[in-house]
Amino acid sequence: MRLLLRFASFLALVAAVLAGTVDSIQSVAASEPVMTSLGDGIAALGPEALNWVQSLQRTGAGPAVWLTVLHWLFMQPAFAVFLVIALVLWMAGYRKRPAAGRFAA
């Protein structure tokens, strides 16, 4: 299980680096800071991804708190969202070292 969590964390980190790289290239080209929101990044993947995002934001998807959190999440920069996801997954898959050390009985 830890291996899967660490691998998912790695994939989220790769996605964060790619999103950050794209944003930095666009920022240099525009001569001003450009940050792609998570919703815009998902919408750029294609119509199926856009339909998936819109289906999550419909009123029948859950309570109003869920919709508010989802809307807020899709408005955040994509690289930041993926970095937080990578950190949470890495923390979940982290194995603590024994307190007594390597050679404890």
Segments making up each domain of the chain, as ranges: 1-35+79-93, 37-76
Name the packing angle between helices 78-92 and 2-30 (round to 10°).
160
pLDDT for residue 44: 87
pLDDT for residue 46: 86
Residues of the chain short of pLDDT 50, as ranges, are: none
Contact 67, 53 (CB under 8 A): no
How far apart CA 69 and CA 87 sit, in angstroms, is 19
Q: What is the CB-side half-sphere exposure of residue 57 using CA atoms within 13 A? A: 14
How far apart CA 8 and CA 38 sit, in angstroms, is 18
Please, which residues bridge with residue 77 across strands? 37
